[in-house]
Amino acid sequence: MGIWIRSQDGKTLVSVKEIYVTRRSKGWCIRTGRGFDLGAYSTEEKAIKVLDMICEKIKIAEFNVEPIFYVVNQIFQMPQDNEVGYSVCEECYRKEWENDQ
């Protein structure tokens, strides 16, 4: 399942099936599998927190049993760096750890 994500600067809206956190010269970035930069963050922890937020949005969308035309609100807006806290989704890390085993 994919998700629609609007970039941090509001100029790009993409359907995403794969995203990852990557190091940039001035901080960290969330990037799509096709190479679109969606948002920049000052720390890796903040970028991972945003990834966790996207993970939660996908979970909500997966449980939505309404027809697709009612799911127009399933667009994730990338938050600004100063809007992101530091807590990390333990469930996402647990799943990643289990997949690595």
Residues ≥6 apart with Cβ < 8 Å to 64:
70, 71, 74
Give the integer Cα–Cα distance in Å for 85 and 44: 12
Q: pLDDT digits over 73-88, tens only?
A: 567 788 888 888 754 4
Q: pLDDT digits over 35-85, tens only?
A: 999 999 999 999 999 999 988 887 766 665 554 444 445 677 888 888 887
Give the integer Cα–Cα distance in Å for 71 and 92: 24
* Eight-class DSSP state of 31: E
Give the integer Cα–Cα distance in Å for 32 and 11: 15
